[in-house]
Amino acid sequence: MDHPVVKEIPLSLTQIACAVLVPLFWGAQFVVIKVGPTAFPALFFVGLRFAAVAAILLPFVGRPTRRELGR
């Protein structure tokens, strides 16, 4: 029998880190959602989650240009 041909693609360190960290964060959300509403008021908890995601994504967002700001 012939073996299927699979092209091996080397992964960079960033790709490996993302492949490991994304499922970890995803799984941690279930714990946070289970515990969070019992420890914090609902609206504060939602704001806390949005602030955490914004802090994680902030390094990937560029500064807005003057045109985007409407100046």
Q: What pLDDT, in 10s, does the model give residues 8-54?
A: 888 888 888 888 988 888 888 888 788 877 888 888 888 888 898 88
Of the pLDDT bands very low, low, confident and very high (cuts 50, 70, 90), residue 1 is low
- Residue 40: predicted pLDDT: 81
Alpha-carbon gap, residue 11 to 17, rounded angstroms: 10
- Which positions ≥6 away from 48 have C-beta within 8 Å? 36, 40
Predicted TM-score (pTM) of this structure: 0.49
- Residue 70: predicted pLDDT: 83
Alpha-carbon gap, residue 61 to 32, rounded angstroms: 26
- Residue 2: predicted pLDDT: 67
Alpha-carbon gap, residue 18 to 1, rounded angstroms: 36
